[in-house]
Amino acid sequence: MKRFALVLALICALTAGFGCAKKQQAEPAPVAYDDGIDNEKNAAVQQITDGRVYFAFDKYSLLPEGKEVLKNKAELMKRFPSIRVRIEGNCDERGTQEYNLALGERRAHAAQEFLTTLGVNPSQMETISFGKENPAVQGSGEAVWQQNRRDDFRVIAQ
C-alpha cells in the first residue's frame, strides 16, 4: 500500500510539472522605421498620373503649358528612378483610325523625348497610342475635342 501511495504521489508530481508548461510569450512585432519615403513616392506617383499634356488640333508639338507639366514629372521621375511610366497618346474623334493612331504615337513620343532631354532615363518610359479609341470625354464639339487631344501618364512600376 505504501508503494502504491508512493507511485501515485510520484505520478501526480510528474504530471503537475509537465502539465503546467509555461506559455510562450509572443515576441513584439518589430517597429518599422518610417522615414516618409513611401509617402513621398506615393505622392509622386499620384502627381505623375494626374497631370495631362494637351495638344492643338492636328499637332504633336508641345505647348508651353505641357512643357511645364512635363518638367514637374521629370523632377519626380529623376528623384524616384524605380518609377516607370507609360505615356499614352490620344486624339479627338476626327480623322481616320490609322491617322489618329499615328498622331497619338507622335504625341506620346514628343513627351518622351522632352522628358529625356530633361534627364529622365529612357528606360523609365514606354509609349503607346490609342488614337481616338480612348476619349477622356464623350461627345462632339471643340470643348470636348480639346480634352481628348492629350497624353495620359500611367505608372506601370514603382
48, 76 Cβ separation under 8 angstroms: yes
Q: What does each C-alpha distance from 4 to 12, 16, 108, 119 come to in angstroms?
A: 12, 18, 93, 90
Distance of CA 153 to the CA centre of its chain: 10
Burial of 139 (0-12, 13-18, 19+ CB in 10 A): exposed
**Residue 70 and residue 118 in contact, taking contact as beta carbons nearer than 8 Å:** yes
pTM: 0.76
d(CA 103, CA 97): 10
The pLDDT value given to residue 109 = 98
Q: If 0-12 CB within 10 Å is exposed, 13-18 middle and 19+ buried, where does residue 55 land?
A: buried
How large is the greatest C-alpha to C-alpha distance in the chain, in angstroms?
109
Other C-beta atoms lying within 10 Å of the C-beta of residue 95: 16
Q: What is the distance between the alpha carbons of residues 80 and 89, in angstroms, rounded to a whole number?
A: 23
| pLDDT tens track, the chain, 158 positions | 555 554 555 565 555 555 555 555 555 544 444 556 689 999 999 999 999 999 999 999 999 999 999 999 999 999 999 999 999 999 999 999 999 999 999 999 999 999 999 999 999 999 999 999 999 999 999 999 999 999 999 999 99
Q: What is the dihedral of CA 92, 98, 102, 104, to 10 degrees?
A: 30
pLDDT of residue 27: 52
At 1 the pLDDT is: 53
pLDDT at 38: 87
Q: Give the chain's domains with CATH numbers.
A: 53-158 (3.30.1330.60)
